[in-house]
Amino acid sequence: MIGYRLKQAQAALRSRMDETLKQLELTTSQYSCLETIGRRPGASNAEIARSVFVSRQAMNTLLRGLQQRGLVTRAERAEAGRALPIRLTGEGRRLLGEAAARIARIEKAMSDALGPERRTSLMSGLTRCVDALEDLPDPE
């Protein structure tokens, strides 16, 4: 039953995010991507992919779209290894700001509905679940 509730909450959240981001011509994945770059300027494609929980390949195509729209830039040549550092453009930063404000409203709605204690409790509960899932032995 935890699994179902998790899925339900995630689906509801994503639905709301897509809804409000649509007005900025952004999808939830694109927003998550921009948000990650904002937090970690110079991150690599693979790094962002892991943070957004999609494959490198999916993030690659997603990034091309953002690049064509002039929201992000990608280094021409790798500074070290093969990773091509990615950064926000001015326009990317501006759009991220608008999007983040909208998303903040959604986060706030959840926070308000929970209250501080329950919110903390929810966060730690989810963390415990993640840890438990990661420690789960591989099915032989």
Partner DNA sequence: GAGGATATGTCAGAATATTGACATGAAGCA
Partner DNA sequence: TGCTTCATGTCAATATTCTGACATATCCTC
The residues of the shown chain that bind its own copies, judged by CB under 8 A, are: 1-3, 5-13, 15-17, 19-20, 23, 32, 53, 102-103, 106-107, 109-114, 118-119, 121-123, 125-136, 138-139
To which residue do tokens 């693979």 refer? Answer: 46
- The residues of the shown chain that bind DNA, judged by CB under 7 A, are 18, 27, 29, 44-47, 53-58, 60-62, 65, 78, 80-84
Smaller CB separation from DNA, 3 or 116: 3
Measured CA to CA, the distance from residue 30 to residue 92 in angstroms comes to 11
Helix/strand/coil percent split, the chain, to 5? 70, 5, 25
23 binds, among DNA, its own copies, none (CB under 5 to 8 A by kind): its own copies
For the CB of residue 47, give the shortest distance to its own copies in the complex, in Å. 15
* Direct distance between the N- and C-terminal alpha carbons of the chain, in angstroms, rounded to an integer: 24
With CA atoms as reference, report the closest residue to 37 among 92, 104, 94, 101.
92
